[in-house]
Amino acid sequence: MTINNSSQTQSDAAYPVQSIDWLTRLIGFDTVSRHSNLALIDDVKAYCEQLGLAVDLTFNDAKNKANLFVTVPAGEQADQVNNGLVLSGHTDVVPVDGQEWTSEPFTATIRGDKLYGRGACDMKGFIACALTILPQAVQLSNSGQLRRPLHLALSFDEEVGCLGAPLILADLKARGITPDYCIVGEPTNMAMVVAHKGIAVYRCRVHGKSAHSSLTAQGVNAISYASRLIGYVDTLAEEISGRDDNDGLFDVPYSTLSVGTIHGGTATNIVPNLCEFTFDYRNLPHMTQEDVLVPIQAKVAELNGQMQARAPETGIELVQEESVPAMTDNDSAELQALIAVLTGDDERHKVAYATEGGQFTNSGIPTIICGPGSIEQAHKADEYVAISEMERCDRFLQKLLKSCAVK
């Protein structure tokens, strides 16, 4: 493997060589969500098998993407009932199209105290640190000192709707494995995130009836009816932002509704017969999709009645395109206490963005988010992770592994 290091040679580099080497290796795989991740998965699988570990893969329908799940089993002195701790990360990254990068995005480049490359912080940095710790975990297991199994879960297609993790969780359920805890290594500057919002994305298709714009009474204007529904979505957004059960620990303390795209019409002199728009709902953990979906569906029914009174073939179609559950902190107090000790930071954070953490908590696995790098650098040109963040994550995982060993 190679590192493009513009400031120092590898021989005198003051950084954790193993995890940086692994990060360099991982960045070299172009795992943009529209591409296969199998080359990366095969590389990690071979590494794990060299360590004597059995690897389980779950595939998408096209068989061009895979999740990887591997377990370092507990040793002879294991706790009697213990299904272990999961280190979780996604292998896919967002595209670089249209971005102006200073260096090649799929070649790790060190400049000063930062390592640049697509996925450096989101979230191959954490995966690199987790892979680096595996040989030590295996040694503890072989010597009988690992009292808690350590699992590594690598998923596909997190960036396009968290599509891979549910397959991992379904496989674990079928095998009777319910891990005690999960740590999702999204970039948090190694701070502890204990909850995040859910996200639901909807596409609304308004089917009207075309007519010449001089004969508007003969048509049903799809854009006009779409605008009425959009106005209602905006009104509902205002209402939910003022609820008295909002949560001030979130950076945005209320659930949000936001219209993101709109397309419609053919020409100015034609009453439009189609208008489509999308909106997303980001809910606090104690709220549900039904809190906004029920009133929106009622508004759709009202508008459908108005439209179909003029032309029976018209109407509004509402389709859900994406759904990622919120991550709750209801059952993670014990895990939070452990993380606070290991990081030396007792502060808890809650965030507006969504991760696979909600899918783990929905499966009954207490989960927190903690990983190297800042979410501020994610998805941007010249994405980077600070070398100091990698070092902090290495130390954190060393302490975590020690907490899983016989004392």
124 lies in the same domain as 20: yes
Looking at residues 70-80, what average pLDDT do you find? 77
Mean pLDDT for 161-181 is: 95
Q: Is residue 75 pLDDT above 90, yes or no?
A: no
Tokens of 200: 């639901």
> Is 92 an annotated catalytic residue?
yes
Q: Please check whether residues 79 and 189 belong to one and the same domain.
A: yes
Q: 393 or 14, which is more confident?
A: 393
Given this model, what pLDDT does residue 395 score?
Answer: 96
pLDDT above 90: residue 17: no
Confidence (pLDDT) at 256: 97
Question: How much is the pLDDT for 81?
Answer: 52
Phi and psi, residue 320, nearest 5°: -85, 125
Say if residue 183 is in the same domain as residue 332.
yes
pLDDT at 273: 97
Domain of 115, CATH number, reads: 3.40.630.10
Cα–Cα distance measured from residue 73 to residue 149, given in angstroms and rounded to the nearest whole number: 5
Please give the tally of structural domains in the chain.
Answer: 2
106 DSSP assignment: T
pLDDT band at residue 14 using 50, 70 and 90 as cut-offs: very low
List the catalytic residue out of 92, 329, 383, 391: 92
Query: Which residue, 295, 324, 353, sits at the end of a domain?
Result: 324
pTM for this structure?
Answer: 0.90
Parent domain of 137: 4-196+326-403
Q: Do 239 and 268 belong together in one domain?
A: yes
Number of H helices, E strands in the chain: 9, 18
| Predicted pLDDT at 302 | 98
Confidence category of residue 83, pLDDT binned at 50, 70, 90 = confident
Task: Give residue-wise pLDDT tens across range 322-359.
Answer: 999 999 999 999 999 999 999 999 999 999 999 999 99
Determine the pLDDT at residue 341. 95
Spatial distance between the Cα atoms of 162 and 325, rounded to a whole number of angstroms: 10
pLDDT digits (tens, 9 = 90+) for 275-315: 999 999 999 999 999 999 999 999 999 999 999 999 999 99
Among the listed residues 21, 157, 158, 394, the single catalytic one is 158
Same domain, 18 and 137: yes
| pLDDT cut 70: percent of the chain above it | 94
For residues 129 and 245, state if they share a domain. no
Question: Is residue 175 located within the same domain as residue 90?
Answer: yes
- Rounded to the nearest 10°, the torsion over CA 112, 185, 117, 391 is 20
318 and 343 co-located in one domain: no
pLDDT the model gives residue 79: 56
